[in-house]
A and B are shown apart, each in its own frame.
Chain A
Amino acid sequence: MIRQAPTHDNSFIMSLNKILASIALILALLAAFIGTPKRGDRNLDEIASLIETEKDHITPLELAEQIHSGKKIRLIDLRDSVSCIQQHILNSERMSIQQLLNDGIKRNEIVVLYSEGGIHASQAWMLLKMTRYDSVYTLLGGFSGWKEEILYPELKAGVTEVEKKNFERRKTLSLFFGGEPMVISQETSKEKSIRQNQSTHKRNPPVKVKKEEERLRYQC
């Protein structure tokens, strides 16, 4: 005896297929009328909120830890080429703000911008945020902050246990990024402050002399 497959199942599937095909066609016709879905520019309130809640930046320590743990972050150096060549953060790329805006970065990657202090980076951040680059941050304190906190962290004499633990954490990161962590004893801290005073004096001569030098330079 030959068993026949039940026909009502097949007709149900055929009907369902026709219904689904019709739905797909209607959605496609409507899509053709819409064209390309538009992405609106970011609301200024949203940007203000990000700044106020400090979600616009990342600290040097947080950045160092994330890079050290292997997280994929794209670092953009906005300083001039000379500064960049002298010293920069490991694996960073140098870019001008213009290059950054002209599709220098992708929208679906995490980007951290830094400049010397942070002003240029903040300006670039604002421009990118206005055009809906979502995962962009600035480095708090810029490269100067990076040098102080990560490349050349210092452990001064007479600090608390918590600060000592904190320094150990920074020391590992500093060595990873090619820095020079320093432990300063009470004697050396005195010596260092003297050296600092002397070097400060050399860098910034008394105002009267500096103005005279400037006057002569401009005359040339």
Chain B
Amino acid sequence: MNAPFYQFGLFGNDTALLFAVVIGIGFGFFLEQAGFGSSVKLAQQFYLRDLTVFKVMFTAIVTAMLGLFWLSWLGLVDLSLVRVLPTYLVPQLIGGLVFGVGFVMGGYCPGTCCVAAVTGKMDGWIHLAGMFAGIFLFGELLPLIGNWYSSTPMGEITLSQIFNLSHGTMVLLIVLAALAGFYGADKLEGRSRST
């Protein structure tokens, strides 16, 4: 039996929801442990004073990327079966901008506002309410913006395909970028602490 297991019928909806709950609890736990339940800490990211978010997220990317590559090399994962979300360039750029503005203004992203809310922070609850209001508004507006929402499609494209490089070369470039980023982040944080 190959992954993706849910899609190929290894388990049904009930078990899939159970997995989702377990993964969600784990995700929330690690976010909270990293200090991401604090809007102050998260917003500092954008003022280049505390780059923990950048370091944690990029570490997760590098870990998953190396894991997938080597599991694929060992024959345990078939990369062609891993779902890649399709790219719609302009809508996703605009969506990213909206996400970023909300993140700076509120100090939370969708995942961290849940963490803040359940650890008793009122601003987390307000952010959560705002998130659901935004989801509702988007759902109501979708018939009007549907064509634009699916404009500039690029398919299920990866960085390897865009730059015409092998997976391994792309892995190396991203790891180098990550390490350079971590070094730069440490320097920026050090400078910010000394001022």
Is A33 located at the chain interface by the 8 A CB criterion?
Answer: yes
Cβ–Cβ < 8 Å partners of B70 in chain A: 27, 31
Q: Known contacts A37-B79, A132-B78: does B73 contact A25 (CB below 8 Å)? A: no
CB distance from A129 to the nearest CB of B (A): 13
Q: How far is the CB of A156 from chain B (nearest CB, A)?
A: 34
A128-160 CB contact bits vs B (8 Å, 1 = yes)?
A: 000010110000000000000000000000000
Task: Please give, as numbers and ranges, the residues of chain B lying within 8 Å of A35 by CB-CB distance.
Answer: 166-169
B149 at the interface (CB under 8 A from A): no
The interface residues of chain A, by DSSP majority, are classed as loop
Task: Establish whether residues B78 and A32, one from each chain, have CB atoms under 8 Å apart when the complex forms.
Answer: no
Q: Is the CB of B80 within 8 A of A107?
A: yes
Chain B residue nearest to A33 (CB atoms) is B168
Pick the contact of A31: B8, B9, B69, B80 (CB < 8 A).
B69
**Are A32 and B80 in contact, CB atoms less than 8 angstroms apart?**
no
Bound together, the chains give a CA A128 to CA B70 distance in angstroms of 26
Q: How far is the CA of A74 from the CA of B172 in the complex (A)?
A: 37
How many A-B residue contacts, CB cutoff 8 Å?
76
A72 to B179, alpha carbons, bound, how many Å?
A: 42
B80 contacts across to A, CB distance below 8 A: 39, 107-108, 132
Q: Which of B65-89 contact A (CB under 8 A)?
A: 66, 69-70, 72-73, 78-83
Q: Does B171 contact A (CB under 8 A)?
A: yes
| A108→B6 CA distance, assembly (Å) | 11
Q: Is B82 in contact with A108, judged by CB distance below 8 angstroms?
A: yes
Of the candidates A24, A28, A37, which one forms a contact with B73 in the assembled complex, judged by CB atoms under 8 Å apart? A37
A135 to B81 Cα, complex, angstroms? 10
Contacts A28-B172, A31-B168, A35-B168; A107 near B78 (Cβ below 8 A): yes
Contacts of B169 on A, CB cut-off 8 Å? 32, 35
Cβ-based interface call for A85 (8 A): no
B176 within 8 A of A: yes
- Give residues of chain A (5-52) contacting chain B, Cβ–Cβ below 8 Å: 21, 24-25, 27-37, 39
* Separation of A37 and B169 alpha carbons in the complex (Å): 12
In contact, B69 and A37 (Cβ under 8 angstroms)? yes
- Residues of B that sit less than 8 Å from A by CB: 2, 4, 7-9, 62, 66, 69-70, 72-73, 78-83, 160, 166-169, 171-172, 174-176, 178-179, 182
The 6 closest A-B pairs by CB, nearest first: A28-B175, A31-B168, A35-B166, A32-B172, A108-B81, A37-B73
Binding site for B on A (CB under 8 A): 21, 24-25, 27-37, 39, 71-72, 107-110, 132, 134-135
Supplied contacts A31-B69, A31-B172, A107-B81, 4 more A-B pairs, CB within 8 Å: A25-B176, A36-B168, A39-B80, A110-B8
- 26 sampled A-B residue pairs with Cβ under 8 A: A24-B62, A24-B66, A24-B175, A27-B70, A28-B66, A28-B172, A28-B174, A31-B70, A31-B171, A32-B166, A32-B168, A33-B168, A34-B73, A36-B166, A37-B73, A37-B167, A39-B80, A107-B78, A108-B7, A108-B81, A108-B83, A110-B9, A132-B80, A134-B8, A134-B78, A134-B81
